[in-house]
Structure 1
Amino acid sequence: MSCSSSSRIALGLEYDGNAFHGWQTQPGGSTVQDALELALAAIAGAPVATTCAGRTDTGVHATSQVVHFDTPVLRPESAWVRGVNAHLPEGVAVRWAQPVAADFHARFSARGRRYRYLLLNRPVRPGLAAGRVGWFHLPLDAERMQAGADLLLGTHDFSTFRAAECQAKTPIKELRQARVRRQGDMIVFDFEASAFLHHMIRNLVGTLVYIGKGKHEPAWVSELLAARDRRLAAPTFSPSGLYLAGVTYEPHWGLPETTVLPQVWSLEP
């Protein structure tokens, strides 16, 4: 059924980053955005353009990506969930759909983003969890890593942890959470900020791993922040263990729960 004006719909998505070449559309059509827009078009009967809360790179997963789009057609919310999922490939699924006000914007209305990184810390590489967790073979000291992470909290110039191709207007971001803890063979990193720079979390994880293995003291973090030089920090860590796990919005938008933390893989009884 058509209506006289467009309505705006928000979606919550989860996807396996290994199945796609990142979020943003590419000529080859092998991205999450490409797959989603094709599926939405099948339900809407017309092309649909989407906007996400935070772009993810190849190999980076999402348990709670938020997207909005405009459509001139009326469909039940179930059509935007089960109907769209019927047209999506394995590795991506719509979790919920919600009509929103015309001034809602998945990216610009967001007040914060939350990411979780799962790092398997044992001598043997992952088998069952391959592609879903990062891996480091030498023993890591999670307490030393947390001491370094504590120095990241607050508002800083994160140029040292910014990819060369980053298009953010400013490297100054407010990091609200930087938590590191061990759970069995897994090191769990939780980061929350107003926004993140390109590769920022993977660069932070790489730096904290250097601290955890004893290559540097936790105070190295402060030196890196002050230097504002990407060349001085650790190499960018693998995308395999990184998950976009939450996007924070003001309650008045009326969205469903927008934080879904990935489960910690455990092979222990």
Structure 2
Amino acid sequence: MIRNFRLLIEYDGTNYAGWQRQKHDPTIQGEIEKALETMLGQTVSVIGSGRTDAGVHALGQTANFRCDTRLTSEAFQKGLNSLLNKDIVIKDCKEADIDFHARFNAKGKRYSYRIFNHSVACSIGRQYCWWVRFPLDAEAMQRGADYLIGAHDFKAFEGAGSPKKHTIRTVYQAQFRQDGEYLIFDIEADGFLRFMVRNIVGTLISVGISKFQPDDVKRILLSGDRANAGITAPPQGLFLIEVRYE
């Protein structure tokens, strides 16, 4: 009988070419599928809630796979964790309704982006943040981020080559918080375009160094033109925190 299993996955994306399987480079999806093939002796397709780019991390990626097996969810969790590299961990495995689909059933996602704001770079943890040496005006950045709340066309923050046909998304939270020398940006929405979070962060950094004013974020948003926004923030500061299904 075909059964459906739901995975909660944590991973360090530093050494991977993103989530989606590729022919020649290691990916998160590819590594999990290889481990499942070892366990089951058959090819299994793992469906993720969405793609994360090369170098991006996750604390709460959700995926599912279907297969004909008598193995329990506990056996899958233990078996996968014994086969996978230590930078990929299956935090939970549960049997799901046969119709559950990690991507199509997702209602929203939450990301965090970590900025190390200090005149001197950090050594430990450098693969989990963006070092910005210039002092940042966090209050101005928050005022800029406030313009993102609500339903908008985010085409100005969409990366080139995005497969999305529709660019309207609803942002529920866009909040900065300070954690020592780290400035952390939390954003939650019903969905995200390719590079959307990283392009938003790059734009808000421009606000933080007074290259843009806070209300320029609204102007950029309304323009629908990627050329008007800031740079794309590097991938290593970005974490997928949670995928929401309710």
TM-score (norm 2): 0.98
Kept after mapping to 2: 8 A contact 1:39/1:85: no
Q: Secondary structure at the match of 1:188?
A: strand
Q: Secondary structure at the match of 2:207?
A: helix
User: Structure 2: how far apart are the matches of 1:58 and 1:135?
Assistant: 18
Residue 165 (structure 2) aligns with: 169
Structure 2 counterpart of 1:184, from 180, 183, 186? 180
Residue 42 (structure 1) aligns with: 38
Matched to 1:46, the amino acid is Q
Residue 145 (structure 1) aligns with: 141
Residue 216 (structure 1) aligns with: 212
Tell me the percent identity: 39
User: Structure 1: how far apart are the matches of 2:234 and 2:126?
Assistant: 12
Kept after mapping to 1: 8 A contact 2:16/2:25: no
Matched to 1:135, the amino acid is W
The Cα offsets for residues 71-119 of structure 1, whole Å up to 9 and x where unpaired, read as 1011122211111111111211111100000111101111100000111
Matched to 1:12, the amino acid is L
Cα root mean square deviation, aligned: 0.9
Kept after mapping to 2: 8 A contact 1:29/1:35: no
Structure 1 counterpart of 2:151, from 125, 142, 155? 155
Q: Secondary structure at the match of 1:90?
A: coil
User: Structure 1: how far apart are the matches of 2:140 and 2:46?
Assistant: 42
Structure 1 counterpart of 2:126, from 127, 130, 145? 130
**Residues 93-102 or 39-48, more deviating:** 39-48
User: Structure 2: how far apart are the matches of 1:139 and 1:29?
Assistant: 37
TM superposition shift of 1:29:
4.5
- Answering whether residue 70 of structure 2 is matched by residue 74 of structure 1, we say yes
Residue 107 (structure 1) aligns with: 103
Kept after mapping to 1: 8 A contact 2:5/2:73: no
Where structure 1 has 5 or more consecutive residues not aligned to the other structure, the ranges are: 251-269
User: Structure 1: how far apart are the matches of 2:201 and 2:149?
Assistant: 14
TM-score (norm 1): 0.90
TM superposition shift of 1:43:
1.7
User: Structure 2: how far apart are the matches of 1:168 and 1:79?
Assistant: 37
User: Structure 1: how far apart are the matches of 2:41 and 2:189?
Assistant: 38
Residue 232 (structure 1) aligns with: 228
Count the aligned residue pairs. Answer: 246
Where structure 2 has 5 or more consecutive residues not aligned to the other structure, the ranges are: none
User: Structure 1: how far apart are the matches of 2:146 and 2:29?
Assistant: 35
Which 4+ stretches in 1 moved above 3 angstroms?
A: none
